[in-house]
Amino acid sequence: MFRFFMLLQIGLLLVGLVWMALAGYVAIESPDPLRDGLAFLGLYFALMGLEFLFSRLFPQSFRAAEALHGQLGAAMRSQGISYHQALLLALASGLAEEVFFRGALQNALLGGWLGVLLQALVFTLFHPVPDRKAWAYTLFIFCGGLMFGTAYLLTGSLVPGILAHYLHNARGFYQLLEQGEHERAL
């Protein structure tokens, strides 16, 4: 499981990097650590706020999505995925998905706001949800894709999205593994 997801992310990263290089797309238009740092913090806290909002607006669907995540956590634990591996997977997915979806695809889809919208649709399709009851998760992924794409459009830098995506995924993976530790302690 770990190897499969790592290979998938590495493949996505390589395709995105080659695509960006061949097309002349840049990862950072003009370096600005303050701008990128503030954009990262804004993006990360916006994702957390979106999660909170969805848990309140769509509680049943949110619980269904949490149940799916619980199954993912159980699968991760049964495969013996360690915290270090989960953090590595979070880093790989944050980096690969930002490079591919925002750096390559968003630019290829005419850039601008149309590119933001279209890459968010493709990003959503890349994150299928097998339970219709968890439909709000699909909407969450779409909104997240819009937020990541907007950050890239406004800053010209993939750095805020990579950092926020990594931290969001790392927090989620860590919680999934911790959930199993907590259940074993009870």
Q: Structural domain boundaries of the chain?
A: 34-185
pLDDT confidence of residue 150: 98
Least confident of 32-36, 103-107, 180-184: 180-184
- The arithmetic mean of pLDDT across residues 136-154, rounded, is 97
Q: What is the DSSP letter of 128?
A: -
Provide the pLDDT confidence category of residue 184 given band limits of 50, 70 and 90: low
**What residues does 28 pair with on adjacent strands?**
157
What phi and psi, each to the nearest 5 degrees, are found at residue 131?
A: -115, 115
pLDDT tens readout for residues 146-162 = 999 999 999 999 999 99
Residue 46 pLDDT > 60, yes or no?
Answer: yes
- Helices 159-185 and 83-97 cross at an angle (nearest 10°) of 150
The closest of 108, 101, 107, 95 to 162, measured between CA atoms, is: 95
